[in-house]
Amino acid sequence: MNLTDNWIGAWFVNLIYLMLMTAMLLAFVRLVYGRAAPDRVVALDLISAIVVAFSALYAVVTDQRELIDVAIGIALITFLGTIAFARYIERRARDDEE
């Protein structure tokens, strides 16, 4: 049985897609108009989390299990990127103090 077999399931899935797109739009606005580098890094991390949610939801709806692996890979790469940005910002702040 598929999640979108009945109209309630299809409506619910479409509602989740709409909410994810709205969150993506708001995060993109924060990415463009962020005041400082940490704001932009957090917005970029949020966008990647939303992309993971999109691919996971699509995998569940279409019953394609391979896309879950893609979502996990994106999440791991994003985590490493966020850690790298945080270390860069920390070092830059430490160098500015000296």
* Residue 31, domain CATH: 1.10.287
Residue 51 has pLDDT above 80, yes or no: yes
Distance (Å, whole) CA 47 – CA 51: 6
**Structural domain that includes position 47:** 7-97
| Contacts with 3 (C-beta within 8 Å, 6 or more apart), sequence order | 9, 13, 60, 61
Question: In the block, which residue shows the tokens 């709806």?
Answer: 61
pLDDT, one tens digit per residue, over 63-76 is 888 889 999 999 99
Which H or E element spans position 34? Answer: none
Cβ contact 75:24 at 8 Å? no
pLDDT, one tens digit per residue, over 4-35 is 677 788 889 899 999 999 999 999 999 999 88
Token couple for 32? 């463009």
In a domain, 2, yes or no: no
In a domain, 64, yes or no: yes
pTM: 0.83
In a domain, 1, yes or no: no
